[in-house]
Structure 1
Amino acid sequence: MARWQPHASDRLVVAALELFEERGYENTTVIGIAERAGLTKSTFFRHFPDKREVLFGGDTMAGLLAAGIADAPADAAPLEAVAH
């Protein structure tokens, strides 16, 4: 993807989540996230102060939890729904 395409922040979140899943949080770098999103490290830092904020800043984590709960089976216990 070219750098000038819109939605850089969303692209960074998607790239980060993919890399966290593939490599784990500790083995994922800001540069790796930026490269996966087709952006530069500078662009990453325009949107997020560090990689932790990709998950916990804004609505990313809340959105992931809500989606997991919504997709869980109706008979799932609360912790099972959150884990889903």
Structure 2
Amino acid sequence: MVTRKEKRNREKEANYFFEFLKIQKHFFKDLMNNLKKVADHRHQSYITYGPEVLLFTMMLKNMTGLKSMRNMSESFNKEECIKNVGRC
């Protein structure tokens, strides 16, 4: 039997980003490919990130409960987050 303390410790150690990726790869295998197909009407000389990166980032923002673009920038511009998202 697992105690409450052990359960809390496991939850602290859980990497929810990778848990999300498991779910995404199992149920939404073509998600990134479908996001790449979204029409991008921006001028090509201004594009740094493709539509899949922008849309996936916005999805992550909403799933993590971040309320503003500023909070998203502060949270996602950390080296650990950049490495994790790069693994997608």
| TM-score (structure 2 length as normaliser) | 0.28
Higher RCO structure (Cα 8 Å, ≥6 apart): 1
| TM-score (structure 1 length as normaliser) | 0.29
